[in-house]
Each structure stands twice: as structure tokens, then as C-alpha cells.
């Protein structure tokens, strides 16, 4: 099964079967590393890093070189082309005419999608702001798969900064797709964002349980750190474990403990030391707990203080293996997308853990913009040519998903294209919260950011406009 | 015909026959890209960029990799070696002992010439300040040639910033050499510099016509944009069209419209928004004009606002093709200068559009310096070893051309080496504007920047020294 | 004799026989450069430069490419990973899992040792702060060897900044090991540090002679520059010449004159222009002296003013050859450490110029730290995992050598682990200068930075604590 000429912007761009095929190829390649030197001979990979990331870049470049391919590389180019006002679409087209495949890291969320749209060659997202970093997810999954043979049914605890860590969002989707149970153990104030949870439950059929603090005895500092999926100071923790007894759940083994770094840049904003003090620390003491007896200790690196050096020699520590396995995984991915290798067609895709949804796309010119200031669609140089577009993922309440950065929008005003045909007095807009939302067919829907915007386009308020303040 | 071991500092370093041979090779290579991977095997290209230029660098590096060669690359090295006070001659010698060919970009004008003088290996100028960027010119010419089969007799309009855009100067020389008619349409205040025009008329036999504004009806904003070679607000526009009726000329088709970017850094200096408002914008509307019916729309990229995204899909748009063709053109150039390929000897060079001139060289130590502050000869680290040298391109008035940056000098005082032999009272200097200039043989000429300089070297003013103020 | 899987952190990591074997290999490779392109095929070198050094990096990268190997490169990465708080040990492990060999430059002294300890692949030190830069030394030695066939018995003058120039320290050790006579001619105020001299005399059996100024006639500016190993304004100059008559010594030929750059950054600190005025300048005039008739003029480059451009064409000038020879020397080193080549086993190592000393190692947790603020062991990100360790190189006075940066320590307080066993009243500390130092066996020694530290660990002052002030 050929994967040639495809791009990988999010982890969802590969099916489960494709991911497993990629893992088989990575196995094969890592077992005969010195025989791969002609696989991508004559092919060029452009690594375009608009943000520094030595580790990820070197991993990709090592992978392409191991395949016998060549690399052209632009590091920290933010100051160069952008200063001249160039759009990333133009950059993508030009780079796509030099190279056979592009690896892109960019601070703007959704940027990799734009590059993939314009490059004309396969594009791999090596991180686009807080959006996705799908090859990190592949390395994580690959490590779990290699150590445990399967992912289905495993209990994986995610710990630390679950709010900003982009790797953790992708990973949670992927784990859900493969049928793992996920236990969330965020640092207080750094819980999984609601939109990630929503995607987990709607698209990936997850059953979420939110536990409140376990009674008054559990105070800050008293509650044992091994209660991985809950802490008293963060009441709205979530777990995707099935609806069974909490007590039993607490005793069960954890298959993998995935810790993320406390980002210093976030910490500063969150107010001094609070976050730091409460932050998880994985050390020898913690790993003595019975439930961690066979636990894989995972971390995307670089680490700061959340992972003690004393556990580096512990056989459960997987983080350096995770990094090392990035090379064969990326080799496999590059070879597949370049069409130099194919995945063995190993049967049908298993969608039992994924709900296939084709959301309607909203692409109308009604002034509606993504509300994420870091979204690629909101950047001065990109506004000239990118037309915003959204998936309508929910009607009551109305929720849109930017197709570039996947940020959620909750617009307040709607109208229909049908009603005002002929009769101008019918050209009215309504509150998105009113019944009208359900009554307008998605393909007739017009959505506005504000009443001002609606009026600017010739619509008048209907009686279904609910105002917060009626002064 | 071998071109091995030669450098390319300016577009004039290649003859017309060589350029056409290079284009044939580029054609051949682009048709069998995957068969070129052994052409430069075992050879190393050093790309030394003292100024950021992702696009040009990646294009060269892609080219060398496609040829099977290797690349060592130093980006934005300004802060490194220079900080240690190293001269570019030393850098060139060392890099030349590591690599088989050097590609250099440097902010100092004439720097590439110095590198070529010292490296001991072929050197390609990838842009030296405002001086030259000859491989961009090759890409431009190649695109025109490929689309129109010939360059001779075509009508090419150059539009936008004709003053600072270095690519446009090289291109105009090259177009003239190949016998094209050039129409200048500068943004007001950004006209072609006089020295470029002089070179076009003297060396390339161009006939220039300067049109004044077309009467009083043509006011700013009223005159149609399709009058490519003239605008009312810039009275001294130039065209190299032959001396025929202006009216007929206005109706004729344009074969290519070459637009340059308005450089924001220049814009700021030019005074707020004025420049921007008057700047050409190529959009669907403009391209509807009859004269642009079959026009190639060209741009060196990156673009800002002068080229609307709406024309990207238009078959006349050539700018992404221009960029893409940079790879085979640079492959051909690298292979030729490395001696890995030869150009087919396709007959005599056609000099019908070029006047061959061997200007006498002035290299005397009379304190004379290039007046261009960006010239490589005026930099602190280079003064220690570079001896300034000039071409004497004109006698009345006396005009010199720096052999490094090609900047023009108009020195004011002269003397002769002959006169003072024996008789010290004859050791006198004269105004360059006086008759003496004609009477002194170039090889006896002594030239001074100032009277002070002349006197410091023991010369006294003759009666042929004209003083502006006789206080 | 295989050198596979070894690292080169200091010049001492290679024996004399290995160095000579490496030179033979470099000879062989430079004579058939185009036949080396498969030697390291399929192997990857990571060049990690935490400090800019275009020349050294490009030399290594050219070498690896000439061998057919591949390069992944991270330049000026200081701002990237470090900003995230990553330790160099983590970086080393990850890079070691991507590449087959690592070349590292880092501003922290001793950093290359840490990288070699953790990488799991061979590591080459390309400069770690003021500590070592051993491949530069190899290039220097190789040039001398190639031009003079031997190093033993040659008279080599080292001139300029002998204090801060790291290349000069390594070179002096290597010259001593190969039996050369070294003449020191430092710029005043930039003499060889005492610890280098101590190593030269103790480990390399050098005999040092310190000359005072040659009487009162020798004033600043009067003394001839050709007295390479002495200047009046620096009374404590040193020479490693044997104990023969000074007068005869002055007349003898110098085989090589190695000049170092005056580092501008140092100059500023040293107080205005003084240093600059006194700095050696090698020019035509100097080289006319009889003793320099056949002298090799050497310089590590880049130069500033200490080496006049007028001598570039002189056949004695070796500095560009030194740079050029960096490529075959580094090719040989890479091929050897990667196990792609072996050195011919050419007999026993000659230790006649080296005293083999196995100093006892001090690695006790007594709060003792290296006193060098630039030492890798004192950096915030490294303190978490590096345990300081020292060689005890002398007892009276007590001198320690940091095993990372080789900085010398002179701790003031000591104790023994033996004495307080059982009896707490015996748990006392003494002055390092007292007799106790000799009486405590090195493996029982406890060493403190300060009395405070000793007391904090439960020790009380003995009567052998000498206090400077008894107020």
C-alpha cells in the first residue's frame, strides 16, 4: 500500500493500519541500519525551521542521511524571509520546487497545513506552535508498542503540563485511537484543555470520568503522588477509565507514565513558584510504588527537574530510547511519503475506537475569523491569500473548529442564505444560542463574529437576538 | 569548451555563447534530474553567507546535492569571523583549501571579486551588497529563453524599484547583450541609476530615449498604469526602444513584465507612504490590457504587495517557475565551473550588441579611494591588503570605475608622472575638468581625491586648478 | 592497531605512536583525496557547536564529506536547548543515538569530557572554552613534521598571547612529548600560566630556565624583537632550552615561530593600548634576521595585526598550509575513531619525553568544588548530575587538578576518614599546609574548600589550623 505524495500534518493523517505498517518498517530498518543507504538516494529533504529545535531537526536530518538522501536546511529563518514580508505559501512553493519533501517547524498554529496545501511535495509537520507535533507522537507510540507489543488495553498515565504541551494532546488522541486507557495527572492549573477532552469523547469514543477531591483528608502535599490520575488541588481531573470502582482503579498497575516538562516560559506567567512546587517529580522513591513496578517511564525531553537523574539507569526509563527510536521512525515515515517504501497491506483498519465523522465545512465570506491569535490565518502576511474555513463540529451550542489550527470557536450570531432571497426585510440575524441554529441547514448557514459584522453585511437583528445587558 | 576553474562574479564573466551553452545543459539536466547524481560526486561546495538569504542558499545547495556533490555551509557568519577581525581574503584562502568551489554572499560591494582573487578555487557571487547577483539574472534569462525561444528582439518591461534592486541592473545588462528592447517603468524616485544607463549605452550600444510627461492632462493617479515605460510623476524615465513614434510604441505588446519588490527598508527612508502608493501593482485588472495579453509576468521573489495573489494561477505568471528553474541553472553552472561538464562549442560569440572595450586600469598609489562606503576596499579589515584599482572609463569628464564594486568616481584633480621628472617646479596638479585631462596619457595619469591629497604628495596647484569659491 | 570507539578530548588521549600513525594516514589520504569517498560511507558525524567557529566546523565537515560520510550540524545552539535547561549529558546521549561520532565545541571548560562520558559514541573536542583544542594541535604538529620530517630536537618559538590562547597550551605539551625545545616569547602580561609550566616540567620532564632582563640597557622598545624567548618588560620569561650558555642560545636558528592572535576581547580588559603596542609583529623586516632564515612561520588563524600580509607570499609562511592540512588530519582522525581505518603498528611508544604518572583521584563528597567558574561542573544545569573529581597532583603544597577542566586547586583544609572512626572528638580538620597532608594517605584524604564547609560536615579545627589573622 503506497503512501507516496501524502503529507503528515496531524497524527490523524495516518490510519491505524498505516501507523502499524510504519512501525514494522521502522523495526526492519533499525535492524539493518547500514543497508538503508540507498533507499532515498537522489532525493532531497528540506528542513525548514522557523523556530529553533535542535533535537527534532537533527533527528530528521539523521534519518534522511541514513536513507542515503540529502538534506538542505534552514534554521531559525524567522528573521530572514519573514522580515521581507514573504508569506509561508510562497516559501512553501519555492522550497517545494527545490526539494522532494519538506519538514517544517513554525510558531504559527496551522502553518504546516498551509505549507502542505502549497508545496506540491509531501510535507511533515515538525511542530506548529501549540497545535501538533505528530512525529513525536509516533516515537512515543512506537516505544510503547515495542516494549509492550500492543497499545490496546494498556493503562497510560499522562503527567505534568497537560495544558500547553502539544505532544501530550497528539499522544492522547493516538492512545485513544489504539484503545488505551488514559489517566490524566496534570499539574494544578495545567489541566487538559476542554477541546481536547471533547475530541477524545466525540471522535474517539472515550468515556470520561471527572473525580472530585477524595474528601477532606487530602490536602496539598498530603495526597500521595502515586495517585496518578487525580490530585486534590485540581478538582476537575479526568480519566478515560471505564466506569468501574475508583478504589479498584487506584490499585491497578500503570503501563506507562508519560511526564512532560514544566515550561519555564509558562511558569513565569503562572505566578512565581506555585506551579513548580506542585509539579510532579519522578524519582527513585516514586518508582518504588507497587503500581509502577513495571511502568515505562517516558518523557519527550528535554527535561528540567521533573525527572531525576537518579532514574536514568533504571531499566524502566525509556526516554533516551524514545529519542533514539526517533531516527528509525522518521526514516520509515520519510521513505513512505517519498514512495521509496510501501507498508505491507495488513488488513482492514480497526475503527472500533474511532468515530468517523465528516463535519460540514464552513467557508463563507462573512467576516468570521479564527479567534486564536497564533493561528496562521490571523497573521499579517497570510491574510492576503488564506480564506478562513471551519468545521461545524456542534450545533447546540454552535461550535466551529478552525481547519488550520483546530482551535474551537463559539460564534454568537447566525443567519441563513435562504431567507432574504427576494425579500430584504427577511435578511435578519439571530443569536447562535436560539432555536434557529438547529433550523438552518449547515450549507445555508451564515455565521458572524459580532452584531457589528452582521449589520455591516446588511443583516438586521431578529427577535431571536438575546442581549446580555438590556439597558 | 571547458569552463573549469573560472569564477562568476558578474554576469559579464560569461559570454553569450557560454550562457546559451549553460542553458542547454540546464535543459538537459532538468529533463533527467535523477541521472545527475554522480556528476559532482566527491566534490565539495562551500556556501558562505555573510548575509541571510534562505532562498538563494537553498537553491545552490539543492543544486549541488542533485549533482551528487557535498555541501558545507556557513550561514550568517558576519558575527563570527569578522568579529575576530579576519579579512575576507584570509577567509577565502582557507575556505578554498577545504572546498572545491565557493558560493559567497556578502554585504560589501565587490567582496565576491576579492574572494575570487584569493580562493584558488572557482567562486560564484550569490550577491555582494548592491553590486551584482548574477545567478538570479541567469534564472531570469533562462525563463524568458525557455518560454519565448529567443531573447533577441523581445520587448521587456522592468517595473518597480529600479534604483536599489541589484537583480534589475544585472538583468538589464544581460538583456541588452542579447539584443532585447527594454522599457523602464520605475516607481517614482526609484529610477535606474545614471551609471547603469551609461553602461547600457556605451558598452551595450543601447539607444536611450527619455520622455517627458505626456502633457498636463497626465497627473498623478490619472495616467494609466499600462504605460509601462513612463509615468508623469517621474519625468526622466528612460527607454531603450529605438527612435520610432511614441504612439506606436505604446500600442505594442510587452513580452515580459519584470516586477521588483518594494524594499520596506528603503521605503522607510523615502518618506512615509508616498512611494508605496505610487508603486506598481500587478493584478488581474492590469493583466487584462491588450498589451499584456501574452506577457510573461516575472518577479525575483519574495514579493510583498506589488504582485497580487490572484494572478498566481494565471498561465502568464512565471515567478514560481523562475524560482524552480534556479536549481537546473545552478546545477549547470556548478558542473561547468567544476569542470564536470563542458558547453557544446556552438560557434562564435555574437558581439553585435556589445561594444568590446579594454579600459586602461589605474592602480597608482596616489591616495585615491573608491567613494562608495559599502565598497570592500573601504572596510577596516580589508584596507590592509587591497590596493584600490579603477578602470578609466571616460576622460572628459574624467570618470573612473572601481574594479571591485563598479561604483563610478568623478575625481577632481590630476597630474602626470612625466612632468616633474628632474624639475621639481613642474610637479603640479590640475583640475580634472581642464584640458590637461586629455593631454595626459592614461598610463602617466596621477589622480587625486582632493587638493590636500595632491599637496601631501608634493604637488603644487597649476593655473589649471579651478576653484569653486575664490574667497 | 584499532582506535575505534575512542574519544579525543585532549591531545594526551593519543599516544605518540598513534599520532605518528595518524599523520601517515593523513599523508596517504591527502595524496589520493578522490579515493577516500567510501571510507566512511553510511556513517554520520554530528557537529554540535555551542559557540561559533566557522573555520573549525567547516574543516571537520569537509573532512567527513571527503570520506563519504554524512554530517548533521547544529550551530550556535547555545540559545536553543540550554534555554530549555537541558544538560549537556542529556544532549550528548540523544546526539549519540542519532550519529556515529560527535564533534563538540562548547564554551564551558571540561564540557567535551562530559559529552565523551555520556554520548556512547566517539567524541572529538573541537574546543572547550579555554581548556583544549586538540585537533588544532594535531594540524600544527603535522605541519612541522611534514616540513622538517621530525619534531624531536627542533627549536620552536611560541610568541604572542601565551596566557589565554588555548591552542598554545596544547601545542606546548605536544611539542614537549615529541622532544622539541620550546622558546617562550609572550607579549608582556600574557605569559604562560604557571599550571602549564608545571605540567611541562613534571609530566613532560621539561627543564625550565627563567631569564631576567639582560641588564639595564634593555628598555622597552630597545630590545631586539629577535630575542624570541625573552623581553625585558616581562622578567619571568621561561624557556625550555637545556642549561647551556644564553649567548650561544641566542644565536641559534629557530625552526618554527608560532605566533598567536591578540584577542581583542582580552585587550580591552588589559587596559587600552599597552598590550597592542608591545605585541609582536611578524613582517618582512623581522624575517630578515639570520636566525629566521629557515624558520617556519606558523599561526592558528584568524590573524589580526600580528602577521603582516606582506609575508603571505614568503615560502616560510605556513599558516595557510596549516589550515589546509586540517582537512586530511581530521579525515584521518575521523576514520580512525570510527574504526574505518587503523594505524600501522609501528613499534613501541617512546616515553622518553613523558613521565607516566597515575595520580590518585579525589572524588569524595566533601563539598569541594572546582574553583574555575567556567568549569562545566559549576554550571547550574550540570550540577544536578556531575560529581566533581580531582587528581591529587601534589601534596606539599596540596594541589588538585579538576578532571574536567584541568584547572588547579589549592584547597586550604584537610581531614582523614580514618581518625574519627568511633571517636567523635578525633573528627578534626587541619591546614593543608601543615604536616598532616603528608601523613594522610590519599585514599583517606578529605578536603574542604573552607573551614565553614569542614565544620558543616561535623569536623572541628585541630591545632594544625593556621589562621592568617589571629585577631
Please give the DSSP secondary-structure letter assigned to residue A126: E
For domain C135-318, the question of CATH label 1.10.530.10 is answered with: no
pLDDT of A245 = 41
Burial class (CB in 10 A: 0-12, 13-18, 19+), B161: buried
pLDDT of C270 = 52
Bridge partners, B46 (sequence order): B72, B102
Report the residue from A59, A75, A309 with minimal CB separation from C384: A309
The answer to whether the beta carbons of residues C332 and C22 sit under 8 Å apart is yes
Q: How far apart are CA C448 and CA C452, in angstroms?
A: 9
Interchain pair A86, B62: CB under 8 A: no
Compute the average pLDDT of residues B159-179.
Answer: 86
Which part of chain C has CATH 3.40.50.1370?
A: 11-131+323-337, 135-318
Cis peptide bond upstream of A126, omega within 30:
no
| Smallest Cα distance from B272 to chain A, Å | 18
pLDDT of C44 = 98
How many Cα atoms occupy the beta-carbon half-sphere of A431 within 13 Å? 10
Interchain pair C42, A62: CB under 8 A: no
Does A107 score more than 80 pLDDT? Answer: yes
Q: Collect all residues with Cβ–Cβ distance below 8 Å to B273 and sequence separation of at least 6.
A: none
Convert the pLDDT of each residue in B31-71 to its tens digit: 999 999 999 999 999 999 998 888 999 999 999 999 999 99
Residue of B nearest to C265 (CA): B84
Convert the pLDDT of each residue in B243-260 to its tens digit: 344 445 555 788 999 998
pLDDT of A101 = 98
> From 3.40.50.2300, 3.40.190.10, 3.40.50.1370, 3.40.630.30, which CATH number describes the A135-322 domain?
3.40.50.1370
**In Å, how far from its chain's centre is CA A325?**
20
Compute the average pLDDT of residues B306-330.
Answer: 96
pLDDT of B147 = 96
* Residue B189 pLDDT grade (very low, low, confident, very high; cuts 50, 70, 90): confident
Compute the average pLDDT of residues A204-221.
Answer: 50
> Could you count the other beta carbons within 10 Å of the beta carbon of residue B42?
18
Among A222-231, B132-141, B286-295, which is the least confidently predicted range? A222-231
Joined grid coordinates for residue C286? 623581522
pLDDT of B420 = 56
Which part of chain C has CATH 2.30.30.20?
A: 361-461
Interchain pair C70, A75: CB under 8 A: no
Convert the pLDDT of each residue in C214-257 to its tens digit: 433 333 332 232 233 322 222 333 455 433 444 455 557 889 99
Burial class (CB in 10 A: 0-12, 13-18, 19+), B367: middle
Compute the average pLDDT of residues A92-121.
Answer: 97
Convert the pLDDT of each residue in C274-312 to its tens digit: 445 567 789 999 999 888 999 999 999 988 888 999 999
Residue that wins the pLDDT comparison between C87 and C463: C87
> From 3.30.413.10, 3.40.430.10, 3.90.1150.220, 2.30.30.20, which CATH number describes the C361-461 domain?
2.30.30.20
Q: Collect all residues with Cβ–Cβ distance below 8 Å to A264 and sequence separation of at least 6.
A: A304, C84, C85
Residues of C with CB under 8 A from a CB of A: 41-42, 44, 46, 70-75, 77, 79-81, 84-86, 90-91, 93-95, 97-99, 384-385
Compute the average pLDDT of residues C199-212.
Answer: 71
Which part of chain A has CATH 3.40.50.1370?
A: 11-131+324-337, 135-322
Give which of B355, B438, B369 is closest to B398, Cα–Cα. Answer: B438
Pairing of strands A361-362, A390-394: antiparallel
Give which of B397, B424, B423, B428 is closest to B410, Cα–Cα. Answer: B397
Report the residue from C79, C80, C85 with minimal CB separation from A304: C85
**In Å, how far from its chain's centre is CA B269?**
23
Q: How far apart are CA C432 and CA C454, in angstroms?
A: 12
Interchain pair C304, B85: CB under 8 A: yes
Convert the pLDDT of each residue in C36-75 to its tens digit: 999 999 999 999 999 888 899 999 999 999 999 999 999 8
| Smallest Cα distance from C65 to chain B, Å | 7
- How confident is the prediction for chain A on average, in pLDDT? 83
* Residue B85 pLDDT grade (very low, low, confident, very high; cuts 50, 70, 90): confident
Residue of C nearest to B381 (CA): C304
Joined grid coordinates for residue C429? 580538620
Which part of chain B has CATH 3.40.50.1370?
A: 11-133+323-337, 135-318
Among B261-270, B459-468, C106-115, C411-420, which is the least confidently predicted range? B261-270
Among A19-23, C105-109, C204-208, which is the least confidently predicted range? C204-208
Convert the pLDDT of each residue in A284-331 to its tens digit: 998 998 889 999 999 999 888 889 999 999 999 999 999 999 999 999
Residue that wins the pLDDT comparison between C463 and B88: B88
Give which of C56, C73, C200 is closest to C134, Cα–Cα. Answer: C56
Convert the pLDDT of each residue in C134-189 to its tens digit: 999 999 999 999 999 999 888 898 888 888 877 888 898 899 888 888 888 777 77
In this structure, which topology does domain C11-131+323-337 adopt according to CATH? Rossmann fold (3.40.50)
Interchain pair A86, B61: CB under 8 A: no
In this structure, which topology does domain A11-131+324-337 adopt according to CATH? Rossmann fold (3.40.50)
Does C400 score more than 90 pLDDT? Answer: yes
Convert the pLDDT of each residue in A377-419 to its tens digit: 999 889 989 999 999 988 888 999 999 999 999 999 999 887 6
Convert the pLDDT of each residue in B101-150 to its tens digit: 999 999 999 999 999 999 999 999 999 988 889 999 999 999 999 999 99
pTM for the model stands at 0.91
Compute the average pLDDT of residues B370-389.
Answer: 94
Q: How far apart are CA C12 and CA C18, in angstroms?
A: 11
Contact pairs from chain A to chain C, CB under 8 Å? 66
Does B377 score more than 90 pLDDT? Answer: yes
Contacting residues of A for C70, CB less than 8 Å apart: 65
Report the residue from A57, A66, A324 with minimal CB separation from C97: A324
Please, what's the largest Cα pairwise distance for chain B?
A: 76
Cis peptide bond upstream of A119, omega within 30:
no
pLDDT of B327 = 98
Report the residue from B85, B95, B384 with minimal CB separation from C302: B85
Q: Which residues of C187-216 are buried (b: 16+ CB within 10 A; e: fewer)?
A: bbebbbeeebbbbbbebbbbeebebebeee
* Residue C469 pLDDT grade (very low, low, confident, very high; cuts 50, 70, 90): low
| Residue B127 phi, psi dihedral angles, 5° rounding | 115, 115
Among A2-6, A380-384, C395-399, C432-436, which is the least confidently predicted range? C432-436
- How confident is the prediction for chain B on average, in pLDDT? 83
Q: Collect all residues with Cβ–Cβ distance below 8 Å to B163 and sequence separation of at least 6.
A: B186, B189, B190, B191, B192, B193
Q: State in words which class domain B11-133+323-337 has.
A: alpha beta
Amino acid at each position: 500500500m503506497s503512501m507516496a505524495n501524502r503529507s503528515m500534518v496531524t497524527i490523524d493523517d495516518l490510519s491505524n493500519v498505516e501507523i502499524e505498517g510504519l512501525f514494522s518498517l521502522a523495526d526492519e530498518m533499525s535492524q539493518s541500519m547500514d543497508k538503508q543507504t540507498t533507499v532515498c538516494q537522489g532525493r532531497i529533504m528540506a528542513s525548514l525551521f522557523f523556530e529553533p529545535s535542535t533535537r527534532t531537526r537533527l533527528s530528521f536530518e539523521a534519518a534522511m542521511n541514513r536513507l542515503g538522501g540529502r538534506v538542505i536546511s534552514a534554521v531559525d529563518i524567522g528573521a530572514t524571509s519573514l522580515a521581507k514580508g514573504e508569506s509561508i505559501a510562497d516559501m512553501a512553493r519555492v522550497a517545494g520546487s527545490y526539494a522532494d519533501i519538506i519538514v517544517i517547524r513554525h510558531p504559527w498554529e496551522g502553518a504546516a497545513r498551509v505549507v502542505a496545501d502549497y508545496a506540491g511535495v509531501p510535507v511533515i509537520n515538525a511542530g506548529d506552535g501549540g497545535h501538533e507535533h505528530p512525529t513525536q507522537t509516533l516515537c512515543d507510540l512506537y516505544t510503547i508498542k515495542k516494549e509492550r507489543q500492543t497499545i490496546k488495553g494498556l493503562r497510560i498515565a499522562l503527567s505534568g503540563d497537560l495544558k500547553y504541551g502539544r505532544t501530550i494532546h497528539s499522544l492522547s488522541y493516538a492512545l485513544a485511537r489504539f484503545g488505551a486507557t488514559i489517566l490524566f495527572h496534570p499539574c494544578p492549573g495545567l489541566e487538559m484543555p476542554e477541546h481536547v477532552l471533547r475530541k477524545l469523547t466525540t471522535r474517539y469514543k472515550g468515556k470520561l470520568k471527572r473525580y472530585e477531591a477524595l474528601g477532606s483528608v487530602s490536602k496539598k502535599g498530603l495526597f500521595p503522588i502515586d495517585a496518578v490520575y487525580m490530585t486534590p488541588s485540581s478538582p476537575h481531573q479526568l480519566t478515560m477509565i471505564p466506569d468501574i470502582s475508583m478504589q479498584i482503579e487506584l490499585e491497578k498497575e500503570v503501563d506507562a507514565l508519560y511526564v512532560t516538562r514544566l515550561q519555564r516560559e509558562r511558569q513565569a506567567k503562572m505566578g512565581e513558584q506555585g506551579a513548580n512546587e506542585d509539579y510532579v517529580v519522578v524519582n527513585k522513591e516514586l518508582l518504588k510504588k507497587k503500581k509502577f513496578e513495571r511502568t515505562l517511564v517516558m518523557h519527550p525531553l528535554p527535561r528540567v527537574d521533573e525527572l531525576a537523574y537518579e532514574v536514568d539507569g533504571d531499566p524502566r526509563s525509556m526516554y533516551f530510547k524514545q529519542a533514539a527510536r526517533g531516527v528509525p521512525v522518521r526514516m520509515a515515515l520519510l521513505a513512505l511519503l517519498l514512495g521509496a517504501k510501501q507498508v505491507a497491506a495488513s488488513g482492514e483498519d480497526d475503527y472500533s475506537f474511532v468515530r468517523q465523522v465528516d463535519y460540514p465545512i464552513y467557508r463563507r465570506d462573512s467576516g468570521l475569523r479564527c479567534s486564536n491569535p497564533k493561528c496562521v490565518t490571523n497573521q499579517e502576511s497570510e491574510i492576503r491569500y488564506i480564506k478562513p474555513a471551519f468545521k461545524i463540529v456542534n450545533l447546540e451550542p454552535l461550535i466551529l473548529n478552525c481547519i488550520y489550527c483546530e482551535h474551537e470557536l463559539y460564534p454568537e450570531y447566525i443567519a441563513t442564505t435562504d431567507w432574504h432571497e427576494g425579500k430584504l426585510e427577511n435578511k435578519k440575524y439571530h443569536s447562535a444560542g436560539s432555536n434557529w441554529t438547529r433550523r438552518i441547514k449547515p450549507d445555508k448557514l451564515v455565521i458572524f463574529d459580532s452584531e457589528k459584522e452582521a449589520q455591516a453585511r446588511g443583516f438586521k437583528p431578529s427577535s431571536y437576538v438575546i442581549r446580555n445587558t438590556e439597558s
